[in-house]
Structure 1
Amino acid sequence: MLVRERETPEGLLVAVCDEECLGETYDDGDVSLTVTEEFYGGEESDADEVVDSLTRASVANLVGEECVTVAIEAGLVDEERVLDLGEALHAQLLWL
């Protein structure tokens, strides 16, 4: 999994994707998502590092079955709220 962290005026923005998703575009008819190097390209990370980043994030975007499953299993993402884009899962996380 790849993790990229950015400090913003609103807090920490975290982007996580499964490596094989990088550079791909997913489309389910209503939603299209391109997983760009500029936004999602980051450091290779294991599940513990992904969870650490997500718990510190103000906002997070996740693409891919592995990273979304890690977030679900950690109790950070509600499985019912995950978008299935056909070939990839997508979730967003926002702490209020």
Structure 2
Amino acid sequence: MLLRERETPEGLLVSICDSDCLGETYEDGDINLEVTTEFYGGEEATEADADAVVDALQRADVANLVGSESVEVAIEAGLIDGERVLEVAETKHAQLMWL
């Protein structure tokens, strides 16, 4: 999985995607999900295991996740409700926001 963290005026933004999703576009009806290098990859992104992903999500103020593996890690850790996950074409997408 690719993990990218960045500070924003609103707090820590974490983006996570399955490595094989980077550069892909998923479409399903009106939904168009682009997994861009600018948001999910780049020099700031690192390869991460499940423990690193969970740690980053626990520290995040906002997070975006794309890919079956990435989303499942968050569900198994109890950070994402599996009933709220979007299935876009052949992948999964979830967002997290701590209030």
Give the TM-score range, shorter chain: over 0.9
Query: TM-score, structure 1 length as denominator?
Result: 0.98
CA deviation after TM superposition for structure 1 residue 86, in Å: 1.9
| Structure 1 equivalent of residue 27 of structure 2 | 27
2:76 pairs with 1:73: yes
| Structure 2 equivalent of residue 91 of structure 1 | 94
> Structure 2: 5+ residue runs without aligned partners?
none
CA deviation after TM superposition for structure 1 residue 30, in Å: 2.1
Aligned-pair identity in percent equals: 71
Secondary structure at the residue paired with 2:71?
helix
Give the 4+ runs in structure 1 shifted more than 4 A. none
| Structure 2 equivalent of residue 10 of structure 1 | 10
CA deviation after TM superposition for structure 1 residue 18, in Å: 0.1
Query: TM-score, structure 2 length as denominator?
Result: 0.96
Amino acid at match of 1:10: E
- Structure 2: how far apart are the matches of 1:21 and 1:8? 24
2:59 pairs with 1:56: yes
Number of residue-to-residue matches in the alignment: 96
CA deviation after TM superposition for structure 1 residue 45, in Å: 0.2
- Structure 1: how far apart are the matches of 2:28 and 2:89? 6
